[in-house]
Amino acid sequence: MDFRVIAPRKKAPNKYDLDETYEIPVKVLKIHKENKNGRIIPITIERLNFKTGELITSNAITFQGSVELYESMNLELPFYTDCIVYKNGKFVNFKVIGIYNVGFWEKMNDVPEILNNDEEELNKIFHMHYEELNNWLNE
């Protein structure tokens, strides 16, 4: 799955996130249950670098209820889902809650084939998709 063709989605504040956030596609690589702190469980995700579009790994968090959901679904690592990007002062943080069918439309419509795997075109799409998120991060 090519994350560059999936645009981040802006989310309005809600009872869990008091400020504006964004959702991005990620691959959950590892769940660090051994480092659990209360209901919060650290995880390692793979995501796009917001400036370059290259895949990078980042630390993130999930919650005990989400891990229980993954286990009840017999979900095996790694898996794709959405991740919430939020600001914490000057820092950018990531959290995964539940499991979502990230990239479903793109997978069903095989977007990279439509674009003939043209890297230049994919990078243009990525930069267009991530412009708003990058502006928000620089506020």
Q: How many CB atoms lie within 10 A of CB 68?
A: 10
Task: Please write the tens of the pLDDT for every residue from 35-67.
Answer: 999 999 999 999 999 999 999 999 999 999 999
- pTM listed for this prediction: 0.87
Q: 30 CB contacts (<8 Å, ≥6 apart)?
A: 43, 44, 77
pLDDT confidence of residue 84 = 95
Q: 1 CB contacts (<8 Å, ≥6 apart)?
A: 25, 80, 102, 103, 106, 107
Predicted confidence band of residue 108 (pLDDT cuts 50, 70, 90): very low
Classified as helix, coil or strand, 112 is helix
Cα 68 from Cα 98, distance rounded (Å): 9
Look-up: residue for tokens 């650290």?
42
Predicted confidence band of residue 117 (pLDDT cuts 50, 70, 90): low
Q: Is the pLDDT of residue 105 over 60?
A: no
Q: Which two tokens stand for residue 20?
A: 């504006």
Q: Is the pLDDT of residue 74 over 80?
A: yes
